[in-house]
Chain A
Amino acid sequence: MLSLNELWFLLIAVLFTGFFFLEGFDFGIGMSTGILAKTDNERRLLINSIGPFWDGNEVWLLTAGGAMFAAFPNWYATLFSGFYTPLVLLLLALIGRGVAFEYRGKVQKESWKKTWDILIFTGSLLPPLLLGVVFSDLIQGLPIDQAMEMKASFFGDIVNVYSVVGGLTMVMLCLVHGLLFATLRVSGDLHDRARKMARNLMVPLAVLVVAFLTLTYFNTNVFEVRGGILAAVIVVMIAALALAAMFSGKKRDGWAFGMTGVVIAATIAFFFIGLFPNVMISSIDTAFNLTITNAASGHYSLKVMTIVALSLLPFVLGYQIWSYFVFHKRVNEKHLEY
């Protein structure tokens, strides 16, 4: 039976998985407005393909943050203050991007749209990059002292070869995932080009994944600690990646999209399994690690939160799924709100 601390660690992992699965394709769509779309109309189609969803998808990140705060206040405090500068950049990216979706179509002027397009592109590229960096750093270890304070240098502790590879992997994964989402939501020439680009990016994605895993072997001790189960996760990751490439080659878009979803879930699982039972690893002394015990809230708080979360989540999932059902038809030029 899971302890409450373990359950909340798992729940936070689930929330991040939901976030990267859902907002992952939003990020991918955002990036593809810059590199796939050729005309303003195509950009609009792409943005509208995530129009009804992106805001709800982003809430997964907010909920994950809130859950960290409530269940593991020390994790939330150390991580958010320790990664201060990357989070400032993340916030700027999310702010610019969110407003851009809403405002881009409000004025029919070339310069107006261009400006928002830049924000959509960078605002969709930066978050997976930064979060990839943060997650890689988490399993690599960070200078956390006895008082749980993380005093990390921006270049070196936070931005290093390993974390950048992790960040780029996340970016590429979101991009391919988003392109495959586009194949389900748009039609005609744009659809065909999305599929083609996704297929062409499968090889670079595979290279990044392998590079990331190799560097993980040298830069972290996760394989020593949890080698067996991580090997299984890696098998799933690689198999899903291969299947995604295969399905997209056979024009089975839905299956291909599902498979990149599996790769994302496996990647997040990889990070969280690598961490467990720690939530942050100290590079100074393992005694200073933040764990699911020493970073956690009290038993009462966790119990209350468990009851609240488990009774609310089914409804949340229910109406979110319903909203995808309502908008299951491909977007067309007649129904563009953004």
Chain B
Amino acid sequence: MDVLMLSRIQYAATTIFHFFFVPVSIGLAFLIAIMETMYVVKGKEEYKDMAKFWGKLFLINFAIGVVTGILQEFQFGMNWSDYSRFVGDVFGAPLAVEALLAFFLESTFIGLWIFGWDRLSKKVHMICIWLVAIGTVMSAFWILAANSFMQRPVGFTMNNGRAEMNDFLALITNGQLLLEFPHTILAAFLTGAFLIGGVSAYKLLKKQNVSFFKKSFTIAMIVGVVSSIGVALVGHQQAQYLVKTQPMKMAASEALWETSPDPAPWTVAAFIDTKNQKNTGEIQIPYMLSFLSYSKFSGDVKGMKELQAEYEQKYGPGDYIPPVRTTFWSFRFMVAAGSLMILFSMYGVYLAARKKLENRNKWFYRIMLFSISLPFIANTTGWIMTEIGRQPWTVFGLMTTADSVSPSVTSGQVLFSLIVFVGAYAILGGVMVYLFVRTIKKGPYEVKAVEESHDPFDKEGYRHAIS
């Protein structure tokens, strides 16, 4: 295989892996901050225990997010040096700001949070986790500002064959960013919510620490319902924005070869024949695509063949159609996973509001346990659609992926790095899952109770005795 293909595989593999952990960090930091705030406001020890227990999972996850993030920053230069030369002027700035503004904040205050339980006052300690949470969100903002430039380049001028920044404000008020950022952040909150919700459901199924996990479950489901609906609403805006800014990605995510009739139907599923550029079978819902694209039940959507002809005129000869099947199906997986999460979290909130969390909900708890996978499916497929759907470009309309790769790096080098990184990541993933399961099985009180108290009338000991 050539350097380009190997580099793309490596980039995809390491980035997808990295992005398993990032949303969990963002989501859990936020939820833990809420729990610790409840502890400070209400003064109940149980909320502190919640912050600590979910904090353990957060830290196991955070460590991998941090170390795999270093690789992310390095590999632009390592594997995509021509890309880095071309856009560094614009793209490097948000990355540098991300490090200065967000990485320092989260790394310093996470240290204070871990080691500061006995050394800081309650309030200052709570502020530390909020600063971590804010740090993770700001980190997302800046890296998405960089990514948004790749989707819709703004705030730059071409100079000596390079993109040079000429409007920083335009860069951080990019319409793409103003949608991509809330979509990603809400998805991250949703990820945290479904992780806590799923683990709590498992514990409730096992009838362990019922009060503790009922409270956790309720907080998670409230955050879950708000963010899942929010994600969908922003997603709808994104689709309308996509039609305007990257119509080819839109057409590919709909497997729309020919320009649609007006009003446009939405294709639920299709057999896609990329070779002959047509679909051999489709299931469609009338009017739906018009609604997705324009929020009204009329209007046609341009197909890939027409766009290909337009792009050839504009950018010269070439194949401007992204991998259609991948784009089409990843969009559908994302939407399906997102819709299920809306349903499940609504039902979860309903149960909590009716105080029915204990009775006869075994099937629902089992569903919630398996639903831990849903946000990960949605996050991953969402990014696959966004990045694969932009191909053949790295920066839409300006630079292709083929032109981005490092000319001085050999395929042997990339093969070596691909193997060691994927190997290392696989081991890390395995270890992390092992530690997660172990921590969850131990539950919030076991260690504490054994180490600190054997007296059933002591506070912790009592809790141990009933749990």
Contact = CB atoms under 8 A, between A and B. Distances in A.
A71 B111 contact: no
Contacts of A92: 420-421, 424
Interface string A61-75: 111011111111110
B60 A297 contact: no
B164 interface: yes
Given A85-B413, A150-B408, A323-B108, A66 B66 contact: no
B93 A51 contact: no
B89 interface: yes
Interface in B381-424: 406-409, 413, 416-417, 420-421, 424
B110 A55 contact: yes
B112 interface: yes
B111 A52 contact: yes
A81 B409 contact: yes
A300 interface: yes
Interface in B53-103: 59-60, 62-64, 66-71, 73-74, 76-79, 81-82, 84-85, 87-93, 95-101, 103
Interface string A285-325: 00000000000011011001100110011001001100100
Contact of A309 (B73, B88, B100, B438): B100
B88 A59 contact: no
Contacts of A94: 67, 70
A335 B118 CA distance: 9
A59 B107 contact: yes
Contacts of B84: 69, 73, 76-77, 80
Given A70-B88, A298-B89, A305-B93, A88 B420 contact: yes
Given A66-B95, A66-B99, A327-B115, A56 B70 contact: no
Given A84-B409, A84-B413, A74 B438 contact: no
Nearest to B93: A70
A55 B88 contact: no
B115 A51 contact: yes
Given A63-B100, A326-B120, A304 B110 contact: no
B424 A337 contact: no
Contacts of B116: 52, 326
A259 interface: no
Given A71-B92, A91-B74, A319-B108, A99 B63 contact: yes
B92 A63 contact: no
Nearest to A65: B73
A76 B105 CA distance: 24
A329 to B, nearest CB: 8
Nearest to B423: A92
Contacts of A312: 97, 100-101
Contact of B114 (A52, A103, A304): A52
Contact of A81 (B81, B104, B118, B439): B81
A103 B433 CA distance: 12
A301 B408 contact: no
A63 B99 contact: yes
Contacts of A253: none
A42 interface: no
Contact of A301 (B79, B90, B99, B114): B90
A102 interface: yes
Contacts of B88: 69-70, 72-74, 76-77, 297
B437 to A, nearest CB: 12
A203 B96 CA distance: 39
A99 B115 CA distance: 17
B435 interface: yes
Contact of B108 (A76, A88, A148, A320): A320
Name the residue among A78, A80, A92, A147 with the largest chain B CB count within 10 angstroms. Answer: A80
B114 A70 contact: no
B93, B159, B439: most-surrounded residue (chain A CB, <10 A): B93
A151 B110 CA distance: 41
Nearest to A94: B70
A53 interface: yes
A298 B167 CA distance: 12
A246 to B, nearest CB: 33
A242 to B, nearest CB: 34
B52 to A, nearest CB: 11
A81 B77 contact: yes
A155 to B, nearest CB: 14
A95 B89 contact: no
Contact of A103 (B63, B105, B120): B63
A79 B408 CA distance: 11
Task: Output the residue of B68, B100, B114, B406 with the most chain A CB within 10 A.
Answer: B100
Contact of B438 (A56, A78, A107): A107
B68 A95 contact: yes
B65 to A, nearest CB: 10
Given A78-B81, A95-B428, A59 B99 contact: yes
B150 interface: no
Nearest to A69: B92
Contacts of A62: 69-70, 73, 99, 103
Given A76-B88, A297-B164, A300-B165, A56 B77 contact: no
Contact of B417 (A66, A84, A313): A84
A312 B416 CA distance: 39
B395 to A, nearest CB: 14
A197 B69 CA distance: 35
27 contacts: A52-B115, A55-B108, A56-B107, A56-B111, A65-B73, A70-B92, A73-B89, A81-B78, A84-B417, A91-B71, A91-B421, A98-B66, A99-B64, A101-B63, A102-B59, A103-B63, A106-B438, A298-B159, A300-B165, A301-B89, A301-B90, A308-B93, A312-B97, A316-B100, A320-B104, A323-B111, A335-B115
Interface of A: 51-53, 55-56, 58-59, 61-63, 65-74, 76-82, 84-85, 87-88, 91-92, 94-96, 98-99, 101-103, 106-107, 147-151, 297-298, 300-301, 304-305, 308-309, 312-313, 316, 319-320, 323, 326-327, 335, 337
The 10 closest A-B pairs by CB, nearest first: A73-B88, A80-B77, A70-B92, A52-B111, A69-B92, A66-B96, A81-B81, A102-B63, A77-B81, A63-B99
